Structure 1
């Protein structure tokens, strides 16, 4: 019994909230990542339940959410989510998970929930080797990605992933320093399946921000003033032809 109580308290502390004696909804931030793709990353409602269990997100408006049912006796949890089609019920199993700092995760999925203001921030994330080449030394973005301008909505409200690249051809999508070809230069390269946050748009070009899966790029919260994106993630312009929009 003592072990069960201790595990429940540990889970609550890592999620940034006190132990709930009854169901309670608080504001915070959530992350849902399944098979290397991030479906939810930013502000969300969190339903706290006795024993350390919780629900990340609420699924309203066709959004994603997940439930994590903690077993205090084993220190593991069973997680479910509402699937790629953002259904109204969390019927798709994510399997058994173990606690990983402020998250619960296994080899194929991760569910995180943080009370507002408690999410750890990444100072200078970089893409893993092989996911994209490094920016060429001395090159910088010529047309900044402008984000924000609302107190109600996230700084960037769109998301998608790269598709349609021919592996028999170049096999990569150039990230440009501005919305077009010449005179703009190539800053980076993306590949099929790479995820991006869509923050700006000019004609057929998207201004995007991106980093390793699960990275907090500081775009999933309101920025009242419109301003140029300066990090911590990478940013540039890509052609919308090769982006499948999943959010926004």
Structure 2
């Protein structure tokens, strides 16, 4: 049974679910095209291997021997795993390179790193069971009016939620913010948005579904409304981000979403 639980956790962990993730400056250039430059998240592994990137593109460098590695990247912002091979890479300072390819990570100043880590949320991440490498997070800074969206997991930013005793879901480190609903339009279903808590009339609750406590649904108290990702049933080929919607919990099965939470 212990092996089964550990194996299931491994399936649920998102791409950036690696220990000691921290902000860095990075570059990802593939085929001579610079896809990422600037602030990224860096996740080290044993032996000098690492993963680096942002919520659109990320690369995985697996060190074989000192100065030699194999590389992979996700190649498409919609892809949630680094499945596309980059081939053999060699180390040049903070970069791992091949013709047309550069995967680089530069440490930030210590004070800047500490400030960034202190500002990061430290709750749990919520991911759809059907897309475990994607996370629900804020579209921008954590402030009232920001919609929630589904995007490739950003470990430094997406530990956004606290699940309190009794299951109530709150926004980590932001007691002034709650999860509300943007009113639906004629052709637009209701979407989740961060709002001041005094403007939110009902709380959301984690409801366990299945064998494990970390699998469940998110239901609003009192009115039978649940979180879902309608884009997944409408056009899953569309690139992230996707809106997070609310529908009646007794909607058709293909519209109801089950989630998993984790800290890593």
Instruction: Tell whether the structures are fold-level matches, with TM greater than 0.5.
Output: no
Query: TM-score, with normalisation over the residues of structure 2?
Result: 0.34
Bigger relative contact order, structure 1 or 2, given CA contacts below 8 A and separation 6+?
A: 1
Query: TM-score, with normalisation over the residues of structure 1?
Result: 0.36
